[in-house]
Amino acid sequence: MKKRRKNIALFGLSANPVTDRGGHGEIVKALLAMERIKTNGDDDDDDDDKLYDEVWVVPVYRHAFESKNDAMLKTKMPNFQQRCEMCEKQFSIPGEGKNSVQRVKVRRIELEATEWKRKVTGDANATIVGTFELLDYLRNVYEKEKDDFEKRNIEYTFVMGKDAYDDLIGGKWIRGDEILKTTNLVVVPRISSTAPTTATATPTMIKEAKSVVFLDNISGLRDVSSTAVREAISSGNKPSTIEELNPFVAEFIEENRLYK
């Protein structure tokens, strides 16, 4: 029997800060719960019916667009290490589903890719530009450095919000057409009072895509935003009183006096 490829969902986020109930935490739970359809060619010894072997939470190191970097800096954004630590505190608690705590990993892939690029180019200021370049690093550098076959035999799925998906199919992403053709996508709807609760496909672009799944009706997903959390803290609310924050994340924010 053919051994199936390891399937990893890449969930990129600014983590400024990472949210729990109603927000990022619900999205990760939904990804962990997704089930795959077995085929006759699957390894009989593989009895795990979960679609994703792992969910990699990938904090943004630097946005591809300077305007977004400038906007993030204006929010008193914590440094990259602090944002990674908040994610680790968020997802270190056992979640729902089989082996969920082992299946969620916070990965500093964007920083690793940037350091690799600076080394090979000799440019100390080089950065990874866009999602395609990150995926290219994972497929052609990260995997090939591994001696373990399992770590080299990976299928990546990129998870994105509906707004980002609209930008992607609207031609605003760097090498977006190649991302569509080579990468599985999962689109999460934006929940707000003015936005629909479901993501909708754009047929003309779907024809050119490898695979696009619209992850609608996520249980517990609400109109939760990191912006609202930051504003609440800067207005004097204690992080520990904000229900959208994991208690360990709230404690970290208080200890480091973030968003003050």
Write down the pLDDT at residue 1: 53
Write down the pLDDT at residue 46: 54
Write down the pLDDT at residue 193: 47
Write down the pLDDT at residue 203: 46
For the chain (length 260 residues), average pLDDT per consecutive 10?
80 96 95 80 62 96 66 77 97 56 89 95 91 93 66 86 91 92 92 54 58 88 94 96 97 96
Write down the pLDDT at residue 64: 61
111 and 80 in contact (C-beta within 8 Å)? yes
Dihedral of the alpha carbons of 190, 196, 202, 203, in degrees to the nearest 10 = 130
Cα(30)–Cα(190) distance, integer angstroms: 15
Q: What is the CA radius of gyration of the chain?
A: 19
- Tell me the backbone φ, ψ of residue 185, rounded to 5 degrees: -125, 145
DSSP-assigned letter for residue 140: I
Dihedral of the alpha carbons of 41, 43, 48, 52, in degrees to the nearest 10 = -60
Alpha-carbon distances, residue 22 vs 105, 166, 181 (angstroms): 20, 22, 31
Cα(61)–Cα(243) distance, integer angstroms: 27
pTM of the shown model? 0.85
What would the two tokens of residue 18 be?
Answer: 């990472």
Domains of the chain, first to last: 6-221 (3.40.50.620)
Q: Given strand 6-13, what is the order of strands in its sheet?
A: 104-106, 54-59, 6-13, 154-161, 184-188, 211-214
